[in-house]
């Protein structure tokens, strides 16, 4: 092998892979097919973006990976989540607990309600440190203050004693990031870290995430519906639609040479905006109700390329022939 090939192999060091994950919710109205065959993998050191419209199953995917779905009503019905050669979905709770945090840390979607209102933020970060770094007391407190400084919280020593309600939304999200990083995770999952913040704060938090990624070099799974953020931060992108992964590719290909009609539809909308060409080409229709997804390809009611088979047979998620690590779920891929 040439040196560049060796480098390529090393880059392809998969740290986490999810295979055929299925999570449904059993509610009065029926069975919600929230996640229905999600496949993805993460390579060491990269930022993988998981992209899709609200309600397509991004958060449920992330929570299912660490078995954090509330049951009832939810249930992980099948799949494998392979991390360090072990399947997180089929291991003992006690083992899983050692992987939560230290192995994979999670920043939940809602910074407003993701902190315990009756604990100081310092104590909450200290808990993460004590659980994952094996240090306690004064030393853990110093580390916690360091973490607050790392996420650029001013007056960290006094902020340490604040309760969540004494902090703004942006500050809370910084605390969430500090707490996740305090676990020293090998993989950090950030679920829409800026979604509920106002625009200027969003930019600040994204900037912070970028800086931290440079400083620490953690592997990141960034969940978002914002393609602008994807273009700025992601190495590879996994696109989700209606509970399924429809395409995975490097970030350049996603924007410039999408394989799936849905991907093409969503990147067109923002490309057109960028070109100041106001002909906004929105995909017609709405995503399907996951209580009763359409037969065949789930995108078929909205797809301009749909043919007979699309209404009958759900396409497999396949590697694109001749491509370098591109995957697509479509009978008639565009490449």
Ligand X SMILES: Nc1ncnc2c1ncn2[C@@H]1O[C@H](COP(=O)(O)OP(=O)(O)O)[C@@H](O)[C@H]1O
Of 119 and 305, CB closest to ligand SF4: 305
Asked if 230 is part of the footprint of ligand X (rule: CB under 6 A), the reply reads: no
Residue that has been written with the tokens 């370098």 in this structure: 324
CB 309 to ligand SF4: min, Å: 7
Q: Which lies closer to another protein via its Cβ, residue 72 or residue 322?
A: 72
From candidates 270, 305, 323, 335, binder to ligand SF4 by CB under 6 A: 305
Nearer to ligand X among residue 35 and residue 212 (C-beta): 35
Q: Does 131 bind another protein (CB under 8 A)?
A: yes
Residue 59 binds to Mg ion (criterion: CB under 5 A): yes
Nearest to 227 by CA among 107, 61, 52: 52
231 binds, among Mg ion, ligand SF4, ligand X, none (CB under 5 to 8 A by kind): none
**b/e per residue 282-311 (b: at least 16 CB within 10 A):** ebeeebbebeebbebbbbbbbbebbeeebe
Considering CB distances under 5 to 8 angstroms, the limit depending on partner class, which of another protein, ligand X, ligand SF4, none binds residue 56? ligand X
DSSP-derived pairing of the beta strands 187-191 and 219-224: parallel
Place of tokens 């090939």: 5
Query: Taking CB under 6 A as the rule, does residue 315 contact ligand SF4?
Result: yes
Helices (H), the chain: 3-11, 58-65, 93-99, 121-133, 137-150, 156-159, 169-182, 199-216, 227-233, 251-256, 261-274, 308-312
| Least spacing, CB of residue 13 vs ligand X, in Å | 28
Name the phi and psi angles at 219, rounded to 5.
-75, 135
How far apart are alpha carbons 189 and 305 in whole angstroms? 34
Size of the site for another protein (CB under 8 A): 33
Nearer to ligand SF4, 160 or 299 (CB): 299
Minimal distance in Å, beta carbon 220 to ligand X? 17
Q: Give contact residues for ligand X (rule: CB under 6 A).
A: 25, 27, 32, 34, 52, 54-60, 73-74, 290
């Amino acid at each position: 092998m040439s040196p560049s090939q060796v480098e390529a192999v090393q880059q392809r060091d998969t740290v986490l892979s999810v295979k055929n994950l299925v999570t449904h919710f059993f509610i009065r109205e029926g069975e919600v097919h929230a996640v229905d065959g999600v496949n993805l993998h993460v390579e060491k050191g990269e930022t993988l973006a998981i992209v899709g419209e609200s309600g397509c199953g991004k958060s449920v995917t992330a929570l299912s990976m660490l078995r954090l779905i509330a049951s009832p009503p939810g249930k992980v019905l099948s799949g494998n989540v392979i991390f360090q050669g072990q399947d997180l979905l089929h291991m003992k709770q006690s083992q899983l607990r050692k992987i939560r945090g230290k192995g994979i840390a999670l920043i939940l979607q809602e910074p407003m309600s993701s902190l315990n209102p009756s604990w100081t933020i310092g104590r909450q970060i200290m808990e993460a440190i004590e659980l994952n770094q094996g240090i306690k007391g004064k030393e853990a407190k110093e580390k916690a203050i360091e973490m607050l400084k790392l996420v650029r919280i001013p007056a960290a020593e006094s902020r340490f004693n604040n309760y969540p309600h004494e902090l703004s939304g942006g500050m809370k999200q910084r605390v969430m990031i500090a707490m996740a990083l305090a676990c020293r995770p090998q993989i950090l999952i950030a679920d829409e870290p800026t979604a509920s913040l106002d625009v200027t704060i969003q930019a600040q938090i994204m900037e912070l995430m970028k800086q931290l990624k440079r400083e620490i070099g953690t592997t990141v799974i960034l969940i978002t519906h914002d393609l602008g953020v994807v273009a700025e931060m992601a190495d590879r992108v996994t696109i989700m639609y209606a509970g399924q992964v429809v395409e995975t590719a490097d970030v350049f290909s996603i924007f410039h040479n999408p394989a799936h009609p849905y991907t093409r539809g969503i990147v067109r909308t923002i490309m057109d905006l960028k070109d100041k060409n106001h002909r906004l080409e929105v995909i017609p229709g709405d995503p399907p109700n996951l209580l009763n997804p359409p037969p065949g390809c789930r995108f078929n009611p909205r797809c301009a390329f749909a043919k007979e088979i699309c209404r009958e047979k759900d396409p497999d998620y396949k590697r694109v022939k001749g491509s370098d690590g591109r995957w697509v779920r479509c009978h008639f891929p565009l490449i």
